[in-house]
Amino acid sequence: MTTERLTMAQALVRYLAAQRVEIEGEEAPLFAGVFAIFGHGNVAGLGEALYAARNRLPTYRAHNEQAMALIAIAYAKAMNRRRLMACTTSIGPGATNMVTAAAVAHVNRLPVLLLPGDVFAARRPDPVLQQVESFADATVSANDCFKPVSRYWDRITRPEQILTSLPAAMEILTDPAACGPVTLALPQDVQAMAFDYPQEFFAPRLRRLRRPGPDEGELAVVTQALRRAKRPLIVAGGGVHYSLATDALARFAERHGLPVAETQAGKGALPWDHPNQAGALGVTGASAANALAAEADLVLAIGTRLSDFTTASHSLFADPEAVLVQLNVQPFDAIKHGAMPLVADARRGLEALEAKLGDWRAPSAWTARTRDLAKDWNAVVERVTRATNAPLPSDAQILGAANRVAGPRDVVVCAAGGLPGELHKLWRTPSAGGYHLEYGYSCMGYEIAGGLGVKMADPTREVFVLLGDGSYLMMNSEIATSVLMGRKLIIVVLDNRGFGCINRLQKSVGGESFNNLFDSVRADGEVPAIDFAAHAASLGALSEKVAGLADLEAALERAKAAERTSVIVIETDPVATTAEGGAWWDVAVPEVSERPQVRSARETYLAATRKQRTGG
């Protein structure tokens, strides 16, 4: 056996560079690069190895460890989990800054390889700078925080351990069912240790993502259930995109006359104006999709976790006899809520169902009702997104202006606050990949970093990042990274002077406006006048503040024509929100309160909980 003496860091980097992936018949590197913020836990070992491999495995730098991991996660999502990135940090705060990002990837089932530096395995210089010491367990380091939010976790305490750990990590990262974040903690002394590695370990490896087909028994049961259905509804989740199954879904829905509702992750599975499109579903949903869900006697959920926002906290599917079918590559999801499981890749599952169903179609009256409801909802969208002369525009009007300027291949990016709700039911997505929302973890601060990841995935598409002032203040440093990298973003900051979304939620459950809007923090009414445009300019972006919707559309056109990241700031109404659409969300209201508003909200809450499905 031929061997080569390398440090563990050199061997790790060479192995990553050798991984390839097949995407619809085309071959590409599995890893698009490594984001690195160097410190004393990784600069000597991994830093030297990355420098030597910079022409084969690009290294990028960012300004915040959480943000760089969010960039990598958004990249993987935009690539439908076919390609991914790695991220490396120093020990201590550099590492723990990535824990939130690991949770984002874990909840959303997205692949990212996290390589935090760790303390010395040999322990000779302990305690080192930034070391977290446990009085009861000498093996603990800050990197143990990654365990609950990693699909696979290992600490490499010997250089030869990567011979087994790296293949295991690659299996998780490229498995459609197990996909998620992998953390390999790298003690800084072990990064520098050498070992005689077999050269075959670094041979190029072409990975083809699995497409498991359905079990014939499960397929037969689901087929019979569909044939009996009179009011069937499809719920399209993110798995439709990850399986590259949007065309298969369109054929299936058209052939069998089925309405399609979409989750946040599934939005864009059908174009917004497709005849079978019922719109957004759930708490942030459209009235058309929610009405169909309430009447459906069978729900075919494809590639979705069916979170509380999608099911309106288990209150949306109102027919007590309704059958729930879960077509999902992950058995954990396929059996949720007492569902009838169909464990398979989304595309293969749809193709198998279509073959079994033959010429069966849903009743024509049900298909016609879908189109009537969708027509009514589209009229609502036109009305609420139209410009008015209100002193401050609503979120709906802002996104309406952006939607009118965005081209058919452009992408909108968002994550948190009130905007995801408005975007889900109002944004018109003409093509797959045009809607990028992180709403599994709804991580404030994802937006700008995520937008950069989307832009890196496809530089030919314009990327519109919409976010509130709260998210902007949480994390904005990657504006500078986008300018540094020459990856242009169009960023719109909606300034409602605080956390407007949670303020509205606070009041809806009987609370007083407290500690959310700036003017609820200062009793004297003196609030900070934050100049977001000046701040963005200081980070290298083109920037301007606009006064109204007409000025906003003109500024967006200028931003599209520009070659550099642009930030556009506009003040918005913190109270206004779209009343149409939506559904109940279970937010527990206190049983005891001195305030009558809370007691009244509690009564309303208890009445709503009686509509929740139980037992599955």
Residue pair 204/16 in contact by the 8 Å Cβ criterion = no
pLDDT score at 616: 52
Q: What residue segments make up the domains of the chain, in order of their start?
A: 3-208, 216-377, 387-571, 588-616
**CA atoms of 530 and 528, how far apart (whole Å):** 6
For residue 2, CA distances in Å to 199, 200, 202 come to 6, 8, 12
Q: What are the E-state strand segments in 270-328?
A: 277-280, 298-302, 323-328
Q: Which CATH number fits domain 387-571: 3.30.1160.10, 3.90.700.10, 3.30.930.10, 3.40.50.970?
A: 3.40.50.970
524 - beta bridge partners? none
The amino acid at residue 466 is L
**CA atoms of 342 and 215, how far apart (whole Å):** 7
Give Dmax (Cα) for the chain: 79
Phi and psi torsions of 353, nearest 5°: -65, -40
Spelled out in words, what is the top-level CATH class assigned to the domain 216-377?
alpha beta
Domains 3-208 and 387-571 share a fold: yes
Residue 570 in tokens: 């506009």
Residue pair 441/452 in contact by the 8 Å Cβ criterion = no
Give which of 493, 518, 515 is closest to 572, Cα–Cα. 493
60 - beta bridge partners? 35
For residue 235, give the H/E element and its range. strand 232-236
CATH topology of domain 3-208: Rossmann fold (3.40.50)
Give which of 421, 441, 428, 427 is closest to 283, Cα–Cα. 421
pLDDT score at 615: 55
pLDDT score at 521: 67
Give which of 107, 215, 102, 109 is closest to 172, Cα–Cα. 109
Q: What is the pTM of this model?
A: 0.97
397 CB neighbour count, 10 Å cutoff: 25
Give which of 244, 219, 388 is closest to 300, Cα–Cα. 219
Question: What does pLDDT average to in each consecutive run of 10 residues of the chain (616 residues)?
Answer: 96 98 93 97 97 97 97 98 98 96 98 97 93 94 97 98 98 97 98 98 95 98 98 98 98 98 98 98 97 98 96 94 97 96 98 97 96 97 92 95 96 96 97 96 97 98 97 97 98 91 86 82 76 98 96 97 98 91 93 94 93 73
